[in-house]
Amino acid sequence: MIDQISPGMDAEILDRCLTRIAQGSTDALAELYEATKTPVYALALSTLKHIPDAEDVLHDSYLQIWSAAPGYVSQGKPLAWILTITKHLSVQRLRERTRSQPLSDESWACALADCPTLSPEDRILLRESMSALSDPEREILLLHAVSGFRHREIAAFLSCPLATVLSRYHRALKKLKRALTKEAEPHD
Amino acid sequence: MTDRELETRLQHSLSALTPDLPPSLLRDCASQPQLSVPPAQSRRRPWAARLSAVAAALVVLAGASLGLRSYRMGHTVGASVSLDVNPSIVLHLNQKERVLDAAGRNDEGAAVLRALDLRGSTPEDAVRALVSAMADAGYLSESANSILVSVEGKDASTAEALRLRLENAAAAASPGGTLAVLSQTVGQEQELEILSQSLSVTPGKAKLLQAVRSAHPLCTLEELAPLSINDLNLLLQGDLPEGLRSTGQASDKAYLGQDAAREIALRHAGLTEDQISRFRWELEYDDGAMVYEVEFASGGMAYEYDIDARTGAILEVDTEPLSGPGSWDDDRDDDDDERDRDDDRDDGWTGGQAVSAAIDPERAVAIALTHAGIARQDARDLSWERDREDGVPV
């Protein structure tokens, strides 16, 4: 079993997993899930801002990876290939979504409170990253911090100029720090 | 907290929130078929079976070859033509360049096609009929006169020739010759096809959206997708990407026009034409509305207005003193900031040094260009604005 993905992880490991998945190995899919679930989930959550929908997209992403793996041609960027599938499914889900609206800040706090694996600090950080940042800022920050993409890779992934990625990334960090500082201040 | 610490915490928090592998996923996968890829080698048959198969194939081929060629010419898609105004329509052409079928890519496109049967017609006739139908339905008018014609074909030179013919057909079909025609050829790119499906637009419009987004990087493709071709044409402001051809002028009659926007700004500032210098304007798409960004200088002050292009409402005003000699001087390139612009993860760039003191706009532009690694002469649509975030000027 390979460990969970960390920034700069070896693309060869993921490529080997995808090759085995293409041969019908569900064990390889389980390994790929463990290695990449956080970037996939983070991207879905960032786009959808809705925990149940993000979980559905997480599930559907791996189902699609399973189906499409035999056609995967390695170009040395397996995570970008995986996240393209997730992005596409997330945008589709966003369009289809008529019943479930994005959660308000209060609903976020409630949804996160239900998650026993999160510390109080984790809850505050996630709540602020969803409420204080714009969608593009959050997406870029998470692609960098969680998926380990370099800024140039993010620019290529989002078809966006590098300068825009850089400015949004730095702005996101500033905003998030400011929001966390404000949150830590004593309330009247 | 450092940037790195914040990123690590974020990664840890999301990792804690991400669900573990649900057992149902592997079950679902096991019952889900995988994409079938042709094997590298076909299985060998016994020689007798192979011989009979070859013989049978020869008989079939001999009998059918003449008819098959003709059938293919008439029934195989040779090229696709998409027309976008706001109705979006795709025509498939056979190899004899006759319309095989026509389909709307959105509700408006389907509505336009409802009364038309284009099958068997030449693409020129189809384009003329569609332009006329869209003008009758009010989609093409004096205030919205742009149409996008995109040709997708396997052979680049044939596609280019067809593009030219259809550009002429569309321009000639316009009421009073007032149509602005954007036209392009589109390669059969899988990425563009995925994008067009996710945005529910034609591949041609998806390609145009990418070009407009390059010129307006703060807009997302999803925000721009619902805009009409006329609005997208206006946002391009004549700055055409490679491969996109344009004839005619996009109408801005649905909007105030730059002269009116200028007058509104001057009236608000209490200034007259002869009191201002360095006037510039841009049409932008911001928060779901077309907006004129108007900038000028007067009496040592820089003025910037955001004016709703449809209503004339002033959405935002910024006035700042022009500081120091040479400010707003487009020739200034003396920035000596050698800040590392590499985007490696350990860059630790905060920008704090650059914005901590009140700086003039030109200095801000120079810092931005240096950080982006773009030479002044290579930058397009350069503009700046002052804003406040939580009371802090930025």
DSSP state of B319: E
Q: What are phi and psi of B10, to 5 degrees?
A: -65, -45
Distance, in Å, from the CA atom of B20 to the CA atom of A116, rounded to the nearest integer, reads 13
CB contact under 8 A, A71 and B35: yes
Least confident of B127-141, B146-160, B165-179: B165-179
For B6, the closest of A22, A146, A173 (CB atoms) is A173
CA dist B228 to B140, B146, B225, Å?
A: 10, 8, 8
The answer on B98 and B175 residing in a single domain is yes
Surface of B (217-246) touching A: CB under 8 A: 217-218, 220-222
Q: Where are the alpha helices (DSSP H) in chain B?
A: 3-17, 23-30, 47-75, 107-113, 123-136, 156-173, 190-199, 203-215, 221-224, 229-236, 258-269, 352-355, 361-372
Residue A57 has pLDDT above 90, yes or no: yes
Q: Which of A70-84, B9-23, B355-369 has the highest mean pLDDT?
A: B9-23
Average pLDDT, integer, range A52-81? 87
The answer on B151 and B130 residing in a single domain is yes
Taking contacts as CB-CB distances below 8 angstroms, the residues of chain B near A117 are 16-17
Taking contacts as CB-CB distances below 8 angstroms, the residues of chain B near A67 are 32-35
pLDDT in tens, B243-285: 899 988 899 889 998 899 999 999 999 999 899 988 889 899 9
Query: Among all residues of chain A, which has the CA nearest to that of B36?
Result: A70
% of chain B exceeding 70 in pLDDT: 71
pLDDT of residue B32: 79
Taking contacts as CB-CB distances below 8 angstroms, the residues of chain B near A45 are 14, 17
User: A16 to chain B, minimum CA–CA distance in Å?
Assistant: 17
Taking contacts as CB-CB distances below 8 angstroms, the residues of chain A near B207 are none
Taking contacts as CB-CB distances below 8 angstroms, the residues of chain A near B22 are 59
If you average pLDDT over every residue of chain B, what do you get? 77
Which band of pLDDT confidence, cut at 50, 70 and 90, is reported for residue B326? Answer: very low
Instruction: Give one word for B257, left, alpha or beta, with left for phi > 0 and alpha for psi -120 to 50.
Output: left
> Can you spell out the DSSP letters for A57-72?
HHHHHHHHHHHHGGG-
* Structure token pair of residue A130: 């969803």
Domain boundary among A78, A101, A124: A101
CB contact under 8 A, A58 and B19: yes
The answer on A115 and A76 residing in a single domain is no
Say if B15 is an interface residue toward chain A (CB within 8 Å).
Answer: yes
* Contact call for residues A155 and B343 (beta carbons, < 8 A): no
Domain boundary among A48, A78, A101: A101
Q: What are phi and psi of B351, to 5 degrees?
A: 80, -5
Domain of B338? 326-394
* Contact call for residues A161 and B213 (beta carbons, < 8 A): no
User: B380 to chain A, minimum CA–CA distance in Å?
Assistant: 12
Residue A109's domain is classified under what CATH number?
A: 1.10.10.10
Rg of chain A on CA atoms, in Å: 17
Q: How many CB atoms lie within 10 A of CB B12?
A: 17
Distance, in Å, from the CA atom of B10 to the CA atom of A58, rounded to the nearest integer, reads 19
For A70, the closest of B13, B35, B371 (CB atoms) is B35
* Structure token pair of residue B170: 């569309």
pLDDT of residue A160: 80
Distance, in Å, from the CA atom of B124 to the CA atom of B132, rounded to the nearest integer, reads 12
The answer on A186 and A125 residing in a single domain is yes
Which band of pLDDT confidence, cut at 50, 70 and 90, is reported for residue B108? Answer: confident
Which band of pLDDT confidence, cut at 50, 70 and 90, is reported for residue B394? Answer: low
% of chain A exceeding 90 in pLDDT: 41
| Parallel/antiparallel/unpaired status of strands B99-104 and B388-389 | unpaired
Could you tell me how many residues make up chain A? Answer: 188
Please report whether residue B8 resides in a domain.
no
pLDDT in tens, B52-89: 555 555 544 554 554 545 545 565 667 899 999 999 99
Say if B3 is an interface residue toward chain A (CB within 8 Å).
Answer: yes
Q: What are phi and psi of B292, to 5 degrees?
A: -85, 125
Domain boundary among A101, A125, A158: A101
CB-facing half-sphere around the CA of A147: CA atoms within 13 A? 29
The answer on B218 and B82 residing in a single domain is yes
CB contact under 8 A, A37 and B17: no
Distance, in Å, from the CA atom of A155 to the CA atom of A140, rounded to the nearest integer, reads 9
Query: Where is pLDDT greater, at B226 or B387?
Result: B226
Please report whether residue B217 resides in a domain.
yes
CB contact under 8 A, A152 and B374: no
* Structure token pair of residue A90: 């997330």
Residue A153 has pLDDT above 50, yes or no: yes
Residue B365 has pLDDT above 60, yes or no: yes
CB contact under 8 A, A33 and B21: yes
**A119: helix, coil or strand?**
coil
pLDDT of residue B45: 44
pLDDT of residue B146: 94
Query: Where is pLDDT greater, at A131 or B197?
Result: A131
pLDDT in tens, B188-220: 777 777 778 777 788 899 999 988 888 887 788
pLDDT in tens, A100-113: 566 666 667 777 87
Q: What ipTM was estimated for this complex?
A: 0.89
Which band of pLDDT confidence, cut at 50, 70 and 90, is reported for residue B347? Answer: very low
